[in-house]
Amino acid sequence: MLRTLLTRRWLTALALALIFAVVAVLLGNWQFSRHQERVAARDLVESHYDAAPVPLEDVLRGDAPLASEREWTRVQTSGEYVGGQLFVRNRPREGTFGYEVMAPLQTAVGTLTVNRGWAPNAENAATLPDVPTTPEGPVEVTGWLRPGEVDLDRAAVEGQLASINLAAAGEQWQRPVLGAYLVLDSEQHVGEPGRDIARPLPLEPPRTGLGAHFAYSLQWWLTSPVGLILVLVMARREWQDTEAGAGTTRPAKAKKVRIWDEEDE
């Protein structure tokens, strides 16, 4: 069988099967790394989302970006809204696209970008949806901190953003902003906790499902040796067919000589 495998045709097949095995292992490793990322993201959300809020100044100061391990930290702060609302385009909610509404809240440590919620699209792209305005006077807000998003390098329409890019928001508000934004959970007037404040629809909770990456990684790893196994099985079958076709013969047995045969001779 080894002589069969060492032919050019089967060496080529073995090389291709080996390449497939390596690629399958690498794809399995990639899927497993995606699974680990999902697990880390889920653990981060679950450890922070329902925690008691901490003061904003304990987590965020100046324009320094939010540390990755502090994402989704639940914070509380107070201040006054000091600018118009900006609308972030193409944001989904329950399968429908619309806008997320951002507003600048002046706090003791700087201007905090507050994501007040979601609003559906208007009749056309040139028309902004009608949403509640920001409340007047000092308010206390509670929510979760998120890092800003990358600039999508698309021409900004006045009053709109292509992404939650904090630098772009600061330019439109003409003021520097802190290095993270707040997903609003609740807000209330300082000294008037029972007074309702109208706001856009709250954002959906973050998704913490792990997806199918772990199953995909197992599939790729289990598939990796299949090519090699097939080549070996097919090469062995060819070798067996070759041996059978050769028709190897056994030496004839020596004829026994009987006593009466000797006498006849």
Look at residues 37, 58, 63 and name the one whose alpha carbon lies nearest to residue 147. Answer: 63
DSSP letters spanning 51-87: SPPEEGGGT--TTPPPPGGGTT-EEEEEEEE-S--EE
For residue 212, give every residue at least 6 positions away whose Cβ sits within 8 Å of its Cβ, in sequence order, or none: none
pLDDT (tens, 9 = 90+) of the chain, 265 residues, equals 667 666 777 788 888 989 999 999 999 999 999 888 888 888 888 888 889 999 999 998 777 888 888 899 999 999 999 989 999 999 998 888 999 999 999 999 999 999 999 999 887 777 788 899 999 999 999 999 999 999 887 766 778 999 999 999 999 999 999 999 999 999 999 877 777 889 999 998 888 777 888 899 999 999 999 888 888 888 787 777 777 776 554 455 556 656 655 555 5
**pTM for this predicted structure:** 0.73
